[in-house]
Amino acid sequence: MPKNTTWIKGKPSPYQLRQIPHFPDWHNLIVWDAFFNNLAAGTMIITALAWAFGSQVFAALLPVALTTAFCLVIIDLVVLICDLGDSARFINSLRVLRFTSPLSVGVWGLVSFSSFAFIAAVLSWIAVSSSTVGLCYYVLYTLIRVFTVLAVIGAIVVICYKGVVFSCTSQPGVKNARWLPPFMVSDSLLMGLSVYIILALCFSSGPAAAFLIIPYIFLVCARCLTFALLWGDVKTRARLVRATENRLVGWILYIVGGILAIILAFCGVGGLLLAALIALACGVMERYWLIGLTHPAPLRPEAEE
């Protein structure tokens, strides 16, 4: 450190002109953790909403969608444990629920989400494969509704937790990203809807998937808007770290993932399927770009002033 360490108002201190000594080892695993975390939670919420507001159209998709959400959250748990490298921390976090501990809240949210989604999926397959009538029918479907709602509550906690944790971290580039939670919520719902569209096209009829076009367009617009607001929070760091990639990310997100995806959604079954795949691909790209903002980069005083 220089001898003159006086902090002068309006001028960067010598400490500010240096990078932090230890950067997080955030590379591939943390990107896929964020992706599968948001994808699983978004799929669960969209599944519940589709069943609640279009049960006659989407009832047949319930077992498949619940099973898909459960599998996605299990993948996320495996990736998260591998990323942290200490599975004992998860076991310890389950002993006591501490609302002031981000790790405790996140672990309880993920475990609750996965547990309730598993029970709801099993019950839904039982309902499909059996010919229950009368009282047994109403009891079974009441239990499905109860555990689906509980799984959705866990999924909401998971989405909000991930966005808040990233935006509250002390790492450069994301610590002041106030619009990161809204962006991750809208993007999670869009990716979840994309998974649901794929399931509807594979396991249901074309008309069922057609009901999802308008929600898809709405969520694409919401993601583009929240990404633009997020860019306002991170543009200083992005221009420093991703000087040659920001424009490409913007073009892909707004042109390919926005305008082109919306046009494809109206181009029949094949176009709607391609639009859903584009949304998922953009989700991976966004997270690689965002996590990349925390990587070391030469610090210029004029970029921070």
Mind listing the pLDDT tens digit for each residue in 66-86?
A: 999 999 999 988 887 777 666
Instruction: Note the pTM of the prediction, 2 decimals.
Output: 0.82
- Which pLDDT belongs to residue 21? 45
Phi, psi of 257 (to 5 degrees): -75, -10
In a domain, 287, yes or no: yes
Residue carrying the six token digits 């699983």: 40
Q: Tell me the H-state helices in the chain.
A: 28-53, 55-58, 62-84, 87-93, 102-129, 135-168, 180-203, 206-210, 213-241, 246-251, 261-265, 268-292, 301-304
- Which pLDDT belongs to residue 93? 65
* Residue-by-residue pLDDT tens, the chain, 305 positions: 444 444 455 555 544 444 444 445 556 788 888 899 899 999 999 999 998 888 788 888 899 999 999 999 999 888 877 776 666 666 666 667 776 666 677 777 888 899 999 999 999 998 888 766 667 778 888 898 999 999 999 898 888 876 666 655 556 667 777 888 889 899 999 999 999 999 999 887 667 788 899 999 999 999 999 999 998 888 888 887 777 788 888 889 999 999 999 999 999 888 999 999 999 999 999 988 888 887 766 554 444 43
pLDDT digits (tens, 9 = 90+) for 3-46: 444 445 555 554 444 444 444 555 678 888 889 989 999 999 99
In a domain, 120, yes or no: yes
In a domain, 245, yes or no: yes
CA-nearest of 75, 50, 74, 219 to 148 is: 50
Interior CA angle at 148 toward 143 and 153, to 5°?
Answer: 130
Whole domain around residue 108: which residue ranges?
A: 28-296
Cα Rg of the chain, angstroms: 22
Mark 156-185 as b/e (b = at least 16 C-beta within 10 Å): bbbbbbbbbbbbebebbbbbebebbbbbbb
Rounded to the nearest 10°, the torsion over CA 118, 119, 124, 129 is 100
Tokens of 48: 């519940």
For the chain, how many structural domains are there in total? 1
SS3 of 19, please?
Answer: coil
CA-nearest of 179, 169, 237 to 30 is: 169
Query: Hey, what amino acid is at 79?
Result: V
In a domain, 249, yes or no: yes
Indicate which CATH number applies to the domain containing 218.
1.20.1630.10
